Amino acid sequence: MNSQIKEIAGRIKKFRELAGIPLASIAEKLEMSEKDYAAFEDGTEDITISAIYSAAAILNIDPTVLLTGLEPAVKDFAVILGGKGVAVERYRGYKFTSLASDFIGRDMEPMIVDIEPHDHLPEMVCHAGQEFNYVLEGSVTVIYGDREIVLSKGDSIYFDARTLHGQKATSGKARFLVVINE
């Protein structure tokens, strides 16, 4: 488990305790077992990005606070120069970079995702709202329910994010834009 993920887990635990929300309650709302959720808060297990955003909603705080420990600071517009947004490497070979983390009260979550090929299935997630993926480099296989859709540079997909889904690099490294609206 990388140190960044442990820091995020620690922040979620801190804000859950400050809000007076029992561990069992937040685990239930995240549709996780208490054991799995406790392992996440202890930093011994990873948690999906969608669960981080769902936890932020439950805790009534901006996801940026959980991801970085900092409050968003601008409300008119946010500029990210040269793709240098807040980056989180969830695990080796999977990194996302937020492109609007400094904007207060955002309704969408735009991110650049960099993934490297691997032999196992991608982490499958589902979350509220809708999601848009646009391939910038390489090719990406989007697993959506029981379907696999292969996208190449310039291709995109827009879908209901409540359906179980995941992405994997098809051949070589891949980079794609993700916009989530929950």
Q: Which two tokens stand for residue 34?
A: 């208490």
- Is there a single domain that holds both residue 11 and residue 46? yes
Instruction: Give the domain extent around 42.
Output: 3-68
- Is there a single domain that holds both residue 18 and residue 90? no
Mean pLDDT of the chain: 89
pTM for the full predicted model: 0.80
CATH at 146: 2.60.120.10
18 lies in a domain? yes
| Residues whose CB falls within 8 Å of the CB of residue 155, separated by 6 or more in sequence, listed in order | 134, 135
Q: Which two tokens stand for residue 47?
A: 């948690």
Query: What percent of the chain has pLDDT above 90?
Result: 52
76 lies in a domain? no
- Is there a single domain that holds both residue 88 and residue 118? yes
Per-residue pLDDT, 164: 93
- Is there a single domain that holds both residue 94 and residue 165? yes
- Is there a single domain that holds both residue 135 and residue 62? no
Tell whether the model's pLDDT for residue 1 goes beyond 60: no
Nearest C-alpha neighbor of 182 from the set 75, 53, 86: 53
Greater confidence (153 vs 30) lies with 153
- Is there a single domain that holds both residue 87 and residue 61? no
Q: Of 23-32, 39-48, 52-61, 71-80, give the lowest mean pLDDT range.
A: 39-48
Task: Provide the sign of the torsion angle of the four alpha carbons 13, 19, 23, 25, taken in this order.
Answer: negative
129 lies in a domain? yes
Final residue before a domain boundary, out of 37, 68, 99? 68
75 lies in a domain? no
118 lies in a domain? yes
- Is there a single domain that holds both residue 167 and residue 103? yes
CATH at 46: 1.10.260.40
